[in-house]
Amino acid sequence: MSNEILHSRIQDRFNDIFENPPEVPQYIIDNLSHNLRPYQEQALRQFIYTQRSDTANIAFNHLLFHMATGSGKTLVLAGIILYLLKEKGYQNFIFFVNSDAIIKKTYDNLTNVASSKYLFRKDGIVIDGQLITVQVVDVFPAIPVDNMIYLKLTTIQKLHMDLTNPRENALTFESLENKKVVLLADEAHHINVLTRSDKRKLNTKEEQERTWEYTISKLLRENSENRLLEFTATIDLSKDALFHKYSDKIVYQYDLKRFMTDGYSKNVVLLRANEDDEKKMLHAMLLSQYRKYIAKENDIDLKPIILFKSNKIAISLSANQSFLSLVENLTITQLEKVIQNGLAVYQNIKSIWRKMFKYYENVNLDQVIRDLQWDFTKETTLNANDASFLSESNALLLNTLEDSDNPIRTIFSVAKLNEGWDVLNLFDIVRISEGAASTKTTTDSEAQLIGRGARYYPFVYKGEKSYQRRFDDIVSDLKVIETLHYHTINENAYIKNLEKSLESANIQVKEDKYERLEAKVKPKIRKMDFFKNSKIYINKVVPSTAEDYQSFKSYNVSTTYEIDFESTVEKRFGSKEETYSGTKRQEEKLVINKLLLQKAIQRNKFYRFRNLKECVPSISSMKEFIESPNFLGDLKIMVSLPIGISINDLSPMEKLKIVERFLAYAEKNIRLNFMKERGTPIFEGVSFPELIDDYVVEISKVSNSVQVNEVKKPRNMRDHDWFIYDKAIVNGLENDMLDFINNYIGELKERYNDVYLIRNERKVKIVEIGGTRGFMPDFLLYLKDNNCTYQVFLEPKGKNLLEQDKWKQEFLLSLSDNPNIEILTENKQVRLIGIKFYTDISDLKVEFREDFTKKLIEKDI
């Protein structure tokens, strides 16, 4: 079937060695404001081929360009206007479309020299030394002026009414009878009323004549030299009637699938979750701001736009108000909780959510909130459903969203923006208060909107501006500004419809490869007295001050840094397995001279004194930071090397990279720990239901470099009455600890009335007393006898983290005998107990067992 289509026949001829395909004339290239992309140039070449006299057998007066949304059809159209003026003498052009919004946009594109989207040369169109002028008209002049392009811009509805109801100062069939006219139809699928209809013929001639399609066909026949050129991103050639009509008219085809494959669009990723509107809006806003931060860190100017899409105007207006209130009232405590919950849920290291929440975990949240409350306000929000939306100023804002002086960051809309909306910096489309679509018609509309949002945002990176994706095959955070995220519901029937619509529209969609696992508090547990009325005790915190940050220790930065160095790594193509240079190793100290340290510091913007001073207020100069034993002055870097390689064998660049890795580690911890709260010895109770609830964890379906023991899997716990959740989502080490607890459950129940193990999924946080370092123990063991309630902190710890988390174990162990600890209770005796780390190292596992039995079974505490 495809070989019957006109564009296929032309391409076959272009491949014929005896054929001489035309080139795009230089006057077209010189008079356009943008360079033609290869496919746009090909579209013009194939059009010109049909118009040459020596190819008269395939010269047509009616042609269609099937080109993807965002591919720059209007630039091709502008080139065609120049060609037909110069080569064929056409001066009268009627541009018609289905929407007023597209008319306004096209007016700017073709006539407004001041517009950033003007398509012709800014200092004037010049052909053969003559200045060409574009004049917008209502009717064409009886005697045209030389070197003038007359352009009528109208909707298909108005054109139809003008021609079928003749009146003065309007186009009529009679006035056009002796004029050769070029009809330019954008979003051309709207004119195929007759062809699309299930009824091959309408009942009466009058009904037929009232259709837009009939009017355009009649206008085309009015003069043998008239031309009809259609442009559309949407044509369904699987329908026999449409195939029959257009198979010999589609002069060029560049559909969305090719457009996306060639990298001219954003990638499209579906983000599926069943969340309430407030959480969905907050997450989308954080993702949008994350994009902005990542762009800024790479010296890229970006103002990302969010579109909140609803199915009813009332819902959209309400969501708009809720969003503004949400931003205005956001606090650090709320944001910290959102980040902690996000990190608990999103375990897949490739998930955009995981990357985003990890980013926010390491930055100053006070500044984040200030930025959010500056960027997302009433003045930066546009509601496309508001009565005032149709004002000229709002239309201008909507069509200039990429401009640096346009303040808009968020748009609320129902359905006004599905067609004719050109926006490049839209990165998030969020469905608000919508259930699953009952018909594919709804999801077809959504697919069309996604197609518009997938337009690529060209940006300058390292001095080069690109109009194609450049990070698909590179590990880079900048992938996020080459991706459109569609935030939607996780409902199977709806997703099936949406996927069909996306497939029909040739939209390629990626999804994070993860599985959502939910652990629920057992209904029986929720009814128990201990769950409804007991409390979990966490220590109060007070704001820290600059005096709390006198050394690296305050930031949990160790001045003895151990690093593995590999001289070679082998990686088989197609495999993720890496083979390192040697298994036997030796450790040597890297001699760090001042020059090496200064060079590494210069290469990291964070360590510019102005930036560093904000997070390390105790220093007065970079000299002090470098030389003080509290900071870099006492730095020791121990390098683990393969046998046979000495520290002296390393090149200056390799040594520099090692120091840079330490500085990156220090930066992360400084950012993470600065201006956090300082822990106090006062512990107060928070009710169980407030902290303990159902939780969701997302785990990767795709194997990666994570060690097998670190991969989380669900374990059925319904038959273990001592575990409060129906399942445990745990890694290998945590699973082993559950087996250990299960082995001692009998002895524990002999000594305590209540024995319950609680998985702490980033809910319960304790902060070191007098310090700023905090953490969330993985498990809490709740025990109660006739005299006392015991809150036991349990922490499985991989051997790779034992040294750096040593302070956590010391803090836990101090809870049992610290005389300064005060527990605020209501007529109850409460004891806090910390147990040594549970590890898979045999000697340390023995120490854990002895500590566990001594404190909890023998009760020697």
Helix/strand/coil (H/E/C) assignment for every residue in 129-181: CEEEEEEECCCCCCCCCCCEEEEEEEEHHHHHHHHHCCCCCCCCHHHHCCCCE
682-709 per-position pLDDT tens digit? 999 999 998 898 888 877 654 444 444 5
User: CA-to-CA distance for 577 and 571, rounded, in angstroms?
Assistant: 6
Q: Are 396 and 452 contained in the same domain?
A: yes
Q: What pLDDT does 749 receive?
A: 95
* pLDDT (tens digit per residue) in 618-627: 999 999 999 9
CB 120 within 8 A of CB 33: yes
* Residue 201 and residue 88 in one domain: yes
Domain boundary among 254, 284, 312: 254
Task: Provide, for the chain, the percentages of residues in helix, strand and coil under a 3-state DSSP scheme, each rounded to the nearest 5.
Answer: 40, 20, 35
Q: Are residues 321 and 381 in the same domain?
A: yes
Secondary structure letter of residue 583 according to DSSP: S
Instruction: Report the DSSP beta bridge partners of residue 91.
Output: none
* pLDDT of 345 over the 80 cut: no
In a domain, 259, yes or no: no
Q: Do residues 729 and 713 touch, judged by C-beta distance below 8 A?
A: yes
pLDDT score for 207: 53
State yes or no: pLDDT of 131 exceeds 90: yes
Indicate if 157 and 109 belong to the same structural domain: yes
**Distance (Å, whole) CA 659 – CA 565:** 12
- Supply the pLDDT for residue 528: 94
DSSP state of 24: P
Segment 31-51 mean pLDDT: 93
Which of 462, 492, 512 is the last residue in one of the domains?
512
| Secondary structure element (H or E) that encloses residue 783, with its range | strand 779-784
Q: Are residues 659 and 739 in the same domain?
A: no
User: Same structural domain for residues 537 and 417?
Assistant: no
pLDDT of residue 288: 97
- 609 vs 448, more confident: 609
pLDDT digits (tens, 9 = 90+) for 408-437: 999 998 865 555 567 899 999 898 876 545
Instruction: Answer yes or no: is pLDDT of 55 > 50.
Output: yes
| Amino acid 490: pLDDT | 66
Please indicate, yes or no, whether residues 641 and 685 belong to a single structural domain of this protein: no
Task: Please indicate, yes or no, if residue 517 is contained in any of the structural domains.
Answer: no
Residue 69: name the closest of 416, 447, 442 by CA. 447
Quick one: 429 and 529 in the same domain? no
Q: Which two tokens stand for residue 605?
A: 């913007």
Instruction: Answer yes or no: is 46 within a domain.
Output: yes
Based on the domain organization, do 465 and 556 belong to the same domain?
Answer: no
Reported as a pLDDT band with limits 50, 70 and 90, residue 576 is: very low
Sequence-distant (≥ 6) Cβ neighbours of residue 839 within 8 angstroms: 733, 796, 797, 798, 799, 802, 845, 848
Encode pLDDT of 826-851 as tens digits.
Answer: 767 999 999 999 998 989 999 999 99
Task: Calculate mean pLDDT across residues 20-40.
Answer: 93
Is residue 622 in some structural domain? yes
Does 768 score more than 50 pLDDT?
Answer: yes
What DSSP line would sit under 704-771, residue for residue?
Answer: -SS-GGG--EEEE-TT-TTBSBSEEEE-HHHHHHHHHHHHHHHHHHHH-SEEEEEE-SS---EE-BTS
Give the type of residue at 780. L
Any domain includes 473: yes
Confidence of residue 386 (pLDDT cuts 50, 70, 90): low
Q: Which two tokens stand for residue 238?
A: 């699987």
Check whether residue 715 and residue 755 sit in a common domain. yes
More confident site: 790 or 390: 790
Percentage above 90 pLDDT, the chain:
44
Range of the domain at 601: 546-674
For residue 462, pLDDT over 60 is answered with yes
CATH of the domain at 21: 3.40.50.300
* Statement to judge: residues 335 and 449 lie in one domain: yes
pLDDT band of residue 574 (cuts 50, 70, 90) is: very low
pLDDT at 847: 95
The stretch 203-231 carries a mean pLDDT of 75
Residues 505 and 648 placed together within one structural domain of the fold: no
506: exposed, middle or buried (Cβ count in 10 Å: 0-12, 13-18, 19+): middle
Within a domain: residue 260?
Answer: no
Question: Among the ranges 243-247, 528-532, 637-641, which has the highest mean pLDDT value?
Answer: 528-532
pLDDT of residue 705: 40
What value does the mean pLDDT take over residues 123-137?
93
Give start and end residues of each alpha helix (H) in 233-378: 240-246, 256-261, 277-297, 313-328, 332-345, 352-361, 365-375
- Looking at the domain assignment, is residue 552 inside a domain? yes
Q: In this predicted model, which residue has the larger pLDDT, 16 or 302?
A: 302
- The whole-chain average pLDDT of the chain stands at 84
Backbone angles phi, psi at 807, to 5 degrees: -65, -30
- The pLDDT-based confidence of 735 (bands split at 50, 70, 90) is very high
Overall average pLDDT of the 278-283 stretch: 92
| Amino acid at site 706 | V
Least confident of 55-69, 304-318, 722-736: 55-69
pLDDT of residue 58: 62
Position 103 scores a pLDDT of 81
Q: Which residue has the higher pLDDT, 240 or 23?
A: 23
pLDDT of residue 199: 46
Q: Answer whether residue 48 shows pLDDT above 90.
A: yes
Q: How many domains does the chain have?
A: 4
Structural domain includes residue 518? no
